Amino acid sequence: MKALQYLNKYFYKYKWRFLIGILITVISKIIALKVPKLVGDSLNIVEDYLNGITTNIEDVKHELFINILLIMGVALFSGFLTFLMRQTIIVTSRLIEFDLKNEIYQQYQKLSLNFYKKNRTGDLMNRISEDVTKVRMYVGPTVMYTTNMVVLFVVCFAEMIKIDLKLTLYTLLPFPLLSLSVFFLSKIIHKRSTVVQQNLSKLTTFTQELFSGIDVVKSYGIEKSMTMDFDEISDDNKDKNIHLEKVNALFYPSIILLIGISNIIVIYVGGLQYINGEIQAGTILQFLLYVNYLTWPVAIVGWVTSMIQQADASQARINEFLNQAPEITNENELSTEIFGKVTFKDVTFTYDDTNITALKNINFTVNSGETIAILGKTGSGKSTIIELLSRLYDTKNGVILLDDKPIKEANLYDVRSQIGFVPQDPFLFSDTIENNIKFGKEDATEQEIIKAAKNAVVHDNIMDFTSGYKTILGERGVTLSGGQKQRVSIARAIIKNPKILIFDDCLSAVDTETEEKILSNLEKVSKNKTTFIISHRISSAKNADKIIVLDAGEIIQQGTHNQLITAGGYYKDLYEQQLLEKEN
Ligand SMILES: Nc1ncnc2c1ncn2[C@@H]1O[C@H](COP(=O)(O)OP(=O)(O)OP(=O)(O)O)[C@@H](O)[C@H]1O
């Protein structure tokens, strides 16, 4: 139950709605519980007539008629109140569900890239959907049914005690047994429902990854083995659910049995009292009705307990993420003007999940408006430099200066807003091409979009599509080629007009002719912008103001194209090799 305490702030936020809902529930149950009394009274009226205590049949008929009208009125009115009760409590639970989903979503946004690397998408999705649904069942139906149950118990027992204390005590005999079984079974339910939720996450993650990588699955023809893996997880999931249901199923028969025993006690003990002339037949009927009124709330004890246990398990899973402090935080609320000078000073960086030291003692400076090219073999640490500059990770060793001040002291959002990043493997949303480009600048005009696309040399390709810029991409639409994707992504970065442009090996999927065109356009676009070009190709790097060559996380060469050619070494070898490839 500890985890659910997190929701107290929401109960407090919506306290008035809850209080009104609970008040309506109380009134509706108090009114509904007038029915047994009216039924009992009606039987007593008939009994009194049969025993000759009352003689006027017209009076008896009149009283019975009034009682019938009252029973109908009470039923209708309490029905209306039940409707109002659902309108308040269930609607409030939907509001809390909305708030909680937003809170989780915002937390997801704040958490760093490392968090996403450590957690699987399916699991993240499950916590924001399945787990929140379980929690909603707690704040809505569970609150409603618990109030119902408590009111029914209090009112029924108060009425029963008022009628006959001895009979009430006899009726209560099976209840301690009932409480004990609820206590033990609910403990088991809690354990088993936690396992069920974890298993469901596994299943969602597997399915989500399978759908994302469906092209690989199909091209390798491994549908069968994937289906077998799915069956295995799904089977396990089914077994865990059956395991849980077995305990859930034990609740109802035991409750019905205990209530049945109460009924027998009422008939037996009440019958003896009737024979002794202590009570009337109508009173026994009234008592029986109360006991049966209690069947439903007692039966729901199981459901409520299981719901609370499941919600607690789900909220604990949600809290695990909500309580995680983001690794990357903004330490400066004031806005920072960014000019674009970047300095890496003795930067060493180790990824904590793999313990790989991707960068070792890196030192370089790029002045505002300059272009720097970073070359190196795969895995040499090129992308890591960019990730540190975008503050997707923070360094512990060495310092990165932005405009001569530690980058951590600058406003994080200003830094990111002034970086136009084209990643190695660009991601485009399932939206129109236009919106994918506008992602870099929401209020961009049509002219700006076209200009950016022309600079990225993708305009002609876009115009070849029947719907042009309105072409939908992704799952339901057109699939772009790798090179087209890279160029749409370049247009997205250009349109942002940031102070720092980063191209992370983003020309790898275009031919050298298009690469030439893009580079010459970029030269115009990136005037006055600090530009990082990461590449395996000399053709992309040669015009940069500065070139650094990385090997196994270390800078092995640094200088301009001409300086590096004169110096010889890795850069010159690569240049000659690529020149040869071009000639052939
Ligand atoms: N998120 C990460 N977590 C752990 N290790 C990582 C992560 N990203 C990269 N690495 C490791 O850090 C090293 C440097 O990787 P990086 O991506 O910076 O190289 P790169 O030069 O950009 O390579 P490529 O040219 O293939 O893109 C590699 O050994 C890689 O396995």
Predicted structure pTM score:
0.73
**Ligand 1 neighbour 424 (Cβ under 6 A):** yes
Evaluate whether 286 touches 36 at the Cβ level (below 8 Å).
Answer: yes
The angle subtended at Cα 216 by Cα 213 and Cα 221, nearest 5°, is 125
Closest residue by Cα to atom 12, ligand 1, is 358
Q: State the distance from the centre of ligand 1 to the C-alpha of 206, rounded, in angstroms.
A: 25
Q: Which atom of ligand 1 is nearest to the CA of 380?
A: 21
C-alpha span between 225 and 206 (Å, rounded): 13
Place of tokens 């990385």: 550
**Ligand 1 neighbour 112 (Cβ under 6 A):** no
- Domain chopping of the chain, boundaries: 1-163+300-327, 342-583
C-alpha span between 250 and 54 (Å, rounded): 50
User: Which residues make beta-bridge pairs with 231?
Assistant: none
**Ligand 1 neighbour 147 (Cβ under 6 A):** no
Strands in 207-366 per DSSP E: 342-350, 357-366
- Quick one: which of 360, 383, 326, 319 has its CA closest to 534? 383
Note the pLDDT of residue 400: 93
Q: Which atom of ligand 1 is nearest to the CA of 359?
A: 14
**Ligand 1 neighbour 521 (Cβ under 6 A):** no
User: Which residues make beta-bridge pairs with 534?
Assistant: 374, 504
Phi, psi of 196, deg, nearest 5 = -60, -45
Neighbouring CB atoms inside 10 A of 197's CB total: 21
Note the pLDDT of residue 583: 65
CA 373 to the chain's CA centroid: 40
The angle subtended at Cα 187 by Cα 183 and Cα 191, nearest 5°, is 165
Evaluate whether 96 touches 136 at the Cβ level (below 8 Å).
Answer: yes
User: What is the CATH architecture assignment of 1-163+300-327?
Assistant: Up-down Bundle (1.20)
Note the pLDDT of residue 349: 94
- Quick one: which of 193, 199, 266, 264 has its CA closest to 233? 199
Q: Which two tokens stand for residue 534?
A: 């990461």
Q: State the distance from the centre of ligand 1 to the C-alpha of 358, rounded, in angstroms.
A: 7
* Whole-number Cα distances in Å, 516 to 57, 224, 239, 286, 522: 108, 45, 60, 93, 10
Mean pLDDT by 10 residues, the chain (584 residues): 88 93 88 88 89 84 92 90 89 94 90 82 84 91 87 86 88 77 76 84 85 84 88 92 87 77 89 89 88 75 80 90 85 85 93 88 92 90 91 89 90 89 85 87 89 90 88 72 86 91 81 80 83 86 89 90 87 82 67
3-state secondary structure of 321: helix
Closest residue by Cα to atom 30, ligand 1, is 379
3-state secondary structure of 34: helix
Q: State the distance from the centre of ligand 1 to the C-alpha of 383, rounded, in angstroms.
A: 7
Note the pLDDT of residue 510: 73
Note the pLDDT of residue 582: 67
Q: State the distance from the centre of ligand 1 to the C-alpha of 199, rounded, in angstroms.
A: 32
Place of tokens 């395991």: 243
C-alpha span between 372 and 487 (Å, rounded): 20
Give the HSE-up count for residue 244: Cα atoms under 13 Å, Cβ half-sphere: 21
Note the pLDDT of residue 240: 92
CA 35 to the chain's CA centroid: 46
**Ligand 1 neighbour 406 (Cβ under 6 A):** no
Amino acid identity, position 241:
N
Note the pLDDT of residue 341: 92
Q: State the distance from the centre of ligand 1 to the C-alpha of 384, rounded, in angstroms.
A: 6
**Ligand 1 neighbour 379 (Cβ under 6 A):** yes
Q: State the distance from the centre of ligand 1 to the C-alpha of 355, rounded, in angstroms.
A: 11
Closest residue by Cα to atom 27, ligand 1, is 378
Give the HSE-up count for residue 210: Cα atoms under 13 Å, Cβ half-sphere: 16
**Ligand 1 neighbour 351 (Cβ under 6 A):** yes
C-alpha span between 7 and 522 (Å, rounded): 52
Evaluate whether 114 touches 393 at the Cβ level (below 8 Å).
Answer: yes
Neighbouring CB atoms inside 10 A of 15's CB total: 11
Note the pLDDT of residue 584: 65
Burial of 361-383, coded b for 16+ CB within 10 Å and e otherwise, reads ebebebeebbbbbbbbeeebbbb
Fold match, 1-163+300-327 / 342-583: no
Q: State the distance from the centre of ligand 1 to the C-alpha of 217, rounded, in angstroms.
A: 25
Note the pLDDT of residue 477: 56
Top-level class of domain 342-583: alpha beta
C-alpha span between 243 and 500 (Å, rounded): 57
- Quick one: which of 359, 350, 486, 510 has its CA closest to 425? 486
Surface-to-core class of residue 239, CB atoms within 10 Å of its CB (0-12 exposed, 13-18 middle, 19+ buried): exposed
Q: How many residues does the structure list for the chain?
A: 584
- Quick one: which of 388, 245, 258 has its CA closest to 328? 388
3-state secondary structure of 373: strand
**Ligand 1 neighbour 383 (Cβ under 6 A):** yes
C-alpha span between 37 and 280 (Å, rounded): 13
Evaluate whether 557 touches 567 at the Cβ level (below 8 Å).
Answer: yes
